[in-house]
Each structure stands twice: as structure tokens, then as C-alpha cells.
Structure 1
Amino acid sequence: MHPSPAILVLGNANVDLVLGEIDGWPVVGTEIMVERSEMRPGGSAGNSALALTGLDVDHLFIASTGNDPNGAWLRDAFSKNHSLWIVDDCPTTLTVGIVHKGGDRAFFTTPGHLDMARVEDLVARLPDAPSGPAFALVSGGFLMPGLRAGTSKLLDALHAKGWQTAIDPGWPPEGWQQPTMRLVKEWLDQADIALLNEVEAAAITGEGDPDAAAAALTQGKASSHMIVIKQGAAGASAYANGQRFHASAPSVRVIDTVGAGDTFNAGFLAALARGEDLSQALTRGVTAASRAVSTSPRRYRD
């Protein structure tokens, strides 16, 4: 049996229809024209898996789709050598992303197969981690009720299989209510690496400054626990072992930012799995994300 790759990705994949760009929302009942559209595979975990393929990084992506034509299209869009699919008897989730001028975006998502996903199906398919650095990324759980309820169980199962865990919780559709805050803090306590953007970090901690947010998130945790805060055009910072590391982002012309943070996750974890240090890993993540948001068709490296 071949050893598992050093990167494991678990979470959501869905069909993304990206339209843009617009300058403010149109009046209800009217129609406007946009310059471009793109139908592409997406989802937070899916975007990371695509980036790993684009970066030529060996990995395994475990996810689900529906059994409709969109599901078949979605499965075919990912590398067959790097994907393990669960096919549920339901429609496949579709997300429409509207890109605004400046690269910001809004999403509209149908429940579809993400409502059917079961954490038990993921746990049953987990491989043992290979020797050496090995990282499992869990993302997109807020859009998957089964994964949301079972994330703690999944993190425990990953640790039992020898994986270092990283979690990107994303943004909860219901907002940051108190039960959601408690749940996320539980996940962040369990995971070895927390991957947040600066808006999420501020929402969880109440601290607008990334350094202050990181201090609040690391308080009382083991020194090895790592917090990463993605800051868009300002780059990204990581906090571990009482130290702060930062990588600046290059200046690029932004086409769209869909999946930028997910691409960062891929480049960052791939570098750690290769044994690169934290500063190098931040740079790898920022560079990959900057390349992705500034190219169409999307590219992840030169």
C-alpha cells in the first residue's frame, strides 16, 4: 500500500457560478449586464484542493457531491488521482458569486448535497498520516450541518490517525451568535492550526487589530498552538511559540478574490509539509493567493 500524501483536505466542494463585476446592487425587478461569467468547481475545501493540484502538490481530497449532472461535472473537475468522493442521492449544491468592483464579492448558495453530508462518512475514510510532517485541513463546515455538528469528532479522529490538524471555520451564515462563538472556540482549542481572515478574527475576539486578536486567541493555549490571520492585500501573519511572523503581499491587479484564503491555506500547509519554516510558509501562501486572484484563467504559480 502506498503511503498517504502529507496533505489531507476535508470539507465542502460545490459548483461555483461567478458573475461580475457590478458597482452596487441593482434595483429589485431590473436586469443588468455583466462582462464575464465563469462556471468552476469551488467550495472552501474544494478551492484548496484545486490550488494544491495547481501547485503540483500531492494530496488527498475527501468530499461529497450529489448524484445529478452537476455532481458528475464537479467530480470530473478535480484530479482523479487526488480525490475520494462520496455521492449522495440529492442535487449538488450551487453557489452564485457576485463580484463587485474592487474584487469584493457576495455569495448565494443552495443547500443541496452539503445538507446531506455526514461526518461519519469522512471518519470512515480517513487514512493514517504518513511519517514526517502531515497536515489535515478541515474547512467549509458552517455550510454542512452534519460536519458542523461533528467537527470535534472529526478533529479527534484525525489526531488519532496521526495528523496535525488545521481548521478554517469560515463565516457562519447566521452570523456570530453566542452558540456559534462557543462552537468555534471549541474547534480552535482542538486544532493545531487556526486559519482565519482578519474579519473573522475580529468577530470572534472583538479585537479589530490582528495582533490583539491573536493574543486573545492564544491566551491559555499551548505554545505550539498556531494562529494564522489572513489580511488580504496586507499579507498574512502567524503567531506561534510566543512569536509573530509576517509576510507581505505583492502588489497585483485583482480580478476576483473568490477562494483567495483557501488558496493561501494550500500554499501555506504545503510548505509546512515540505519542512519549510513558518516565515517561508507564509510567503508561499501569500504568493499563491496573490497569483490566483490576479489571473484569469486562474493560475497558482508562474
Structure 2
Amino acid sequence: MRKTPKTLHPDPARDIISIGTINIDQLLGPVDHWPDRGTETVYPDYEMRVGGGGGIFGAALLALGAHQRMVVNIGNDEMGQWLKSQFGPLADHWHHSKTVTSVTIGLTHSDKERTFLSNEGHSALFDADMARKMLKHAKLDGSIALLVGNFLMPRLVPDCTALLCDLRDAGAIVALDTAWPTGGWTDTVQDHLQNWLPLVDILLINEAEAAGLLGITSDDFTANVDAHMRAISPKLAPGAIVVVKRGSQGASACTGEHVLHAAPFEKINVIDTVGAGDCFNAGFLLAFQRGVDLVDCLHTGIDVAGKAIASHPRRYPTLADLNARIRTLLTSAPHPRPTNNHKTFDQVENG
């Protein structure tokens, strides 16, 4: 397994690339008691919006005005066309699969938690060949490439290690959000992660996922966050960053033995938490791409996520909506790297 040291200096002129799931979220609630079979129950709240880790991440970056490329597939139906309509030219190269679009019914609850019911749809057909085709002419040297929701795309999983190697060989900084494996943290899931993590430069997970990765309980993880983050760090590529999203507590990051924490600037009036982690990813990676200090990357992710989950209907924040200091950091003129001799993904893959 290649574990080549690299310096994490992204090029702000490059795209932030997402490779992952996109679907339609239909949110209904609040549901606090499961209805009896054969009955009908009417709930006051309903909203349809872009869902999936890649979709929400892309929508948040779109609102922030980031350079991005979305590597996703959609179903060959009206739902797929609706998803395309939300992203304009960003959707021109998406793969159309000959099946229905994946839809998630999100049941919201009074305690702000949620339960998801999803059909397989197009996400079950996404594979590495589709990803490579959509990346064919992308300039990856200095880009950030985020893989999100891998375990929701079963055809991608067997070839994911090779795809990660290709991205790193092309000069991309590789980020991974494992999300929660649908079958839990089984031995098979852990085996896949043993292959993937040494190729990851930025790991973006929540507390429950961090605990699952380590084979401990969430309570054990929160009892000693610093030590457990340091235990995850050696599993990644040299110089990598472990980021753990911690809900109302904010977020933490670990590089080697050094752990730092960031709390929200203010109390967040949570409306619904759907997509909070994906919004955090968007803010964190945009700030990281623009050369912001690591603690302020955490603060940016927290602010973007906090503004999103406090909105109803869902609205993703623009730069103008963010904390004034964070906004200043993000709008400071970046210094793009020289553009000579940049190879495309296709040139690296076939070199």
C-alpha cells in the first residue's frame, strides 16, 4: 500500500471536487409516534430539497461561491432532472443511470433528530468507471477531492482503493467522509478502511463514526477525545488531518500528536440537523483551500453548518452571511500556485 508523504498545500485556483451520493430528500414531520398500520397521519412540516452527502456538500459550496466539480450520477427520470436544475452548468457532465433516482424520506422528530428511509435507485449503480469518466479532463494537481458516502455506493467500494491511488498520483489532496456504514462497523467495513485510510489526507467524521472506526462506544470516545483522535491519526497518510464533528460542542482536529478544538461562536437555534456534517465539510474545505489556519477552518465549518441547520426552509449561507472575521479570512486574495505542467487526471491515469 502506497503511503507517500505529501505536503498539504491546496491550490485555491483549483476545483474542490466531490465524488459521492446525491439524491432527493423529502422531509416530513415531526414524527414522534409510529402510526398504526392501515392508518393515515397528517404532519405539518414538509420540504423537498437536494440530499446525499455529495449533493448537500455541492449545494453549500455553490452558495459560498466556491470553484467546484461534482462527480455524481442521477436517475433517468423527472427527479433526476429536478436535481440537475438545482446546479445549472455544474450538472452538465453528470452520469445518467437507467434507473430511478434515489429518494430519501426523512422523518424529523421533536428532539431535532431524524430517521431516514431510502430506496437504492441510482446510487446503487455508481462505480469508479463513472467517476473516472467525469474526472477525465480535470486538473487535479493541487485540488481537494472529497469522497463521501462510499458505503452507500456498493459498486464503487471494490475499486475505491485504486481510485484513491489515482487521485493521489494526480496530485490531489484526498479527503474522506465515511458517513455511517449502512450495515454498521463490520469486519468487512474495517477491512476496506484499512486499505483506504493510508491514502487519505483529511478525514472528516463525527463522534459516532470515530467511535465505530476505533471499535469503542461513543461515550468512551467523548470521555477522552484527544487520546482517541491521536489513535486515529497514524492510520492515515503522513501529515494527514483528522477532523471530528462534535455537534453542539463544535469540532476538533488532530495532526500527529497535536489536537485543537473549536466551539460555535454563538448558540445555534437548530431547526433540523439533516446535512449538518456535509455543510461543515464545505466550510472547512473551502477555508483549508484558501490557506486559513486550521482552527479557523474548524470555525468556518461550524459557522456554515450552524447557519444552514438554523434555516427553514433550508437555505445555505453565502459568504456575506458568515461571521465577520471568517468572512474576511475567506475573501482575502489567495495566491494560486503556478499553472505550468499540470497534468489532467486522464494523463496521469494513462501515463
- What range is the shorter-chain TM-score in? over 0.9
Query: Bigger radius of gyration, 1 or 2?
Result: 2
Distance 2:47 2:307 in 1: 18
The alignment status of 1:218 with 2:233, answered yes or no, reads yes
Question: What TM-score results when the alignment is normalised by the length of structure 1?
Answer: 0.93
How do residues 120-131 of structure 1 correspond to structure 2 at under 5 angstroms?
Answer: 120-126=129-135, 127-130=138-141
The alignment status of 1:257 with 2:267, answered yes or no, reads no
The alignment status of 1:25 with 2:34, answered yes or no, reads yes
The alignment status of 1:155 with 2:171, answered yes or no, reads no
8 A Cα contact 2:19 2:72, kept in partner? yes
Q: Which has the higher strand share?
A: 1
State the secondary structure of the residue aligned to 1:33. coil
Q: What value does the CA root-mean-square deviation take over the aligned residues?
A: 1.8
The alignment status of 1:282 with 2:293, answered yes or no, reads no
1:58 equivalent in structure 2: 67
- AA at the equivalent of 2:262: A
1:239 equivalent in structure 2: 254
8 A Cα contact 1:7 1:135, kept in partner? yes
Instruction: Give the C-alpha shift of residue 29 in structure 1.
Output: 3.8
Distance 2:158 2:232 in 1: 22
State the secondary structure of the residue aligned to 1:227. strand
State the secondary structure of the residue aligned to 1:286. helix
Instruction: Write out per-residue CA displacement over residues 108-163 of structure 1, whole angstroms, 9 at most, x where no aligned residue.
Output: 11011111112111123321225xx5211100111111122222122111112210
Distance 2:73 2:271 in 1: 29
How do residues 139-218 of structure 1 correspond to structure 2 at under 5 angstroms?
Answer: 139-205=148-214, 206=216, 207-209=220-222, 210-218=225-233
Distance 1:277 1:195 in 2: 17
The alignment status of 1:118 with 2:118, answered yes or no, reads no
Instruction: Give the C-alpha shift of residue 203 in structure 1.
Output: 1.2
Instruction: Give the C-alpha shift of residue 4 in structure 1.
Output: 7.0
Distance 2:211 2:127 in 1: 30
> Bigger relative contact order, structure 1 or 2, given CA contacts below 8 A and separation 6+?
2
8 A Cα contact 1:4 1:129, kept in partner? no
How do residues 10-21 of structure 1 correspond to structure 2 at under 5 angstroms?
Answer: 10-21=19-30
1:270 equivalent in structure 2: 286
Q: Go from structure 1 to structure 2 and tell me whether the alpha carbon gap of 1:87 and 1:220 turns closer, same or farther (over 3 Å shift).
A: closer
8 A Cα contact 1:223 1:242, kept in partner? no
* Worse overlay, 284-293 or 183-192: 183-192
1:299 equivalent in structure 2: 316
Instruction: Give the C-alpha shift of residue 187 in structure 1.
Output: 1.8
Distance 1:100 1:185 in 2: 36
Q: Go from structure 1 to structure 2 and tell me whether the alpha carbon gap of 1:81 and 1:90 turns closer, same or farther (over 3 Å shift).
A: closer
Instruction: Write out per-residue CA displacement over residues 69-101 of structure 1, whole angstroms, 9 at most, x where no aligned residue.
Output: 111111111242476300011111111111111
2:333 equivalent in structure 1: none
Distance 1:71 1:240 in 2: 40
Distance 2:231 2:39 in 1: 46
State the secondary structure of the residue aligned to 2:58. helix
For structure 1, the residue ranges without an aligned partner over 5 or more in a row are: none
Give aligned-pair identity as a percent: 36
8 A Cα contact 1:235 1:247, kept in partner? yes
Instruction: Give the C-alpha shift of residue 243 in structure 1.
Output: 1.1
For structure 2, the residue ranges without an aligned partner over 5 or more in a row are: 1-11, 322-351
- AA at the equivalent of 1:239: C
Residues matched between the structures, number = 298
Question: What TM-score results when the alignment is normalised by the length of structure 2?
Answer: 0.80
Q: Go from structure 1 to structure 2 and tell me whether the alpha carbon gap of 1:232 and 1:220 turns closer, same or farther (over 3 Å shift).
A: closer
Distance 1:73 1:43 in 2: 14
State the secondary structure of the residue aligned to 2:112. coil
* Worse overlay, 89-98 or 245-254: 245-254
Distance 1:164 1:153 in 2: 15
Instruction: Give the C-alpha shift of residue 27 in structure 1.
Output: 3.7
* Worse overlay, 59-68 or 179-188: 179-188
8 A Cα contact 1:223 1:240, kept in partner? no
